[in-house]
Amino acid sequence: MIAERISRISPSATLQMTARAAELRSSGIDVINLSVGEPDFPTPRNIRDAATFAIENGVTKYTPGPGTIELRKAIAKKLSRDNNLNYKHQSIIVSCGGKHSLYNACQALFQKNDEVIIFTPYWVSFPDFVSITGAKPIFVKTNPDKQFEPQFNDLIKKVSKNTKAIIINSPSNPTGGVWSDESIKQVLEIANDNDLWVFSDECYEQLTYEKPFKSIATYDNKSNKILTFQSCSKTYAMTGWRIGYMAGDINVVQAMSKLQGQSTSCPNSIAQYAAIEALTGDQTQIKNMRNIFKLRRDYIVSELNNINGIKCNKPMGAFYVFPDFSHYIDNVNIKGAYDLSMLFLEKKAVITVAGNAFGSNNNIRLSYAASENELSKAIKLINEVLKNL
Ligand code: PLP
């Protein structure tokens, strides 16, 4: 009954954990949810006010499929201001979240017999975005001790005549890893030599803690095959508003617009209006959020490393840590990260996401988009479970 293409994808593991947390909460259990992929701050006041203005002033109709010209011009300004990237609004498409832009770009570019390079651990949706087009995800190993940068011998081995694209996500979900300039340049060189598209998912671009973020397309101004994906979701605590965008080759933008016009018509008009305020209005909230996240990162990394058997490298971006629990995986009672993550959930109501969802059996993703008090309680509870194993 159901079309074959749906069997090529799996439900989002992170959204499943969010649903499980809601279930436990509704049955009266005091849950600590470290599975969330969104800031725990409210959307800043000026952005909410802009949305109210839009509602009251008739900004409530369909917009052009790829987004309003005003918003696309605001994005062009933002890309120039923050990322040193120069795009005209015609080379920008706004979608219902960065996820939707990524999905549409995969649909526009990939098909059967294509191969797409994805680095492991990967964001849950990348393999599914590729598989549903009929193309094949090809997984490349990374180095956990070096911000999960690519293992280049593996990358070179995996590039074939069928390779069509490489997906980069730095800062990364789930690892928080931020790649060095050298690694990025090396990947771009390989992409250039093999005439590959480069997808740069930069939705955590404002969340780097040791060095300012550098957009991938600024490393190589010769290539017109780099597509830059960004989002209002994490930067402005706007996950539910669903505004993300892509800047890049105009033919790809047009193909994506055609698809978008026939699927969602356009992104939400009110959210688009508010996104203009987000991108061009007061930016101080970003810095405030970043400072808080950095303190929490330092706290959680140090606490996790104090637990016997856990190894947690310090990620340089995003709001996730991805500690290694292999010490506790005995392949008998605990076969992998999934079993451990379920123990934390069932015994102590601490919700995490097992690394299995991201292609890693030894790690668990913990989000520190939670208060220090909650983080402290969660660490204590996790430690209690581990001590009793
Ligand atoms: N890319 C990565 C790596 C993410 O972690 C997420 C959200 O979790 C997205 C893209 C999509 O975000 P949104 O669709 O809310 O812009």
User: Ligand 1 in contact with 97 (CB < 6 A)?
Assistant: yes
Q: Is the CB of 127 under 6 A from ligand 1?
A: no
- Nearest to 207, CA basis, from 134, 132, 297: 297
Kindly indicate the confidence band of residue 221, based on its pLDDT and cuts at 50, 70 and 90: low
Tokens encoding 35: 């599975």
Q: What is the pTM of this model?
A: 0.96
383 lines ligand 1 (CB under 6 A): no
Spacing, Cα 172 to ligand 1 middle (Å): 10
Pocket lining: 203 vs ligand 1, CB cutoff 6 Å: yes
Gyration radius from the chain CA atoms: 21
Query: Which residue, by CA, sits nearest to atom 5 of ligand 1?
Result: 173
pLDDT reading at 236 higher than 90: yes
Sort residue 281 into left (φ over 0), alpha (ψ -120 to 50) or beta. Answer: beta
Judged against a pLDDT cut of 80, whether residue 15 lies above it is answered with: no
Q: Which tokens belong to 62?
A: 């369909």
**pLDDT tens-place string over residues 163-212:** 999 999 999 999 999 999 999 999 999 999 999 999 999 999 999 999 99
Q: Read off the tokens for 42.
A: 């409210």
pLDDT in tens, 294-316: 999 999 999 999 999 999 999 99
pLDDT, one tens digit per residue, over 97-120 is 999 999 999 999 999 999 999 999
Q: Are 381 and 348 in contact (CB under 8 A)?
A: yes
125 lines ligand 1 (CB under 6 A): no
Residue of minimum CA distance from atom 10 in ligand 1: 99
Question: Which atom from ligand 1 is nearest to the alpha carbon of 201?
Answer: 1
Whether ligand 1 lies within 6 angstroms of the CB of 101 is answered as no
Which of these, 181, 178, 171, 185, lies nearest to 222 by C-alpha position?
185
Choose which residue among 173, 227, 230 to substitute to test ligand 1 binding: the one with the highest number of ligand atoms within 8 A of its C-beta. Answer: 173
For position 19, what pLDDT does the model report? 80
pLDDT at 213: 97
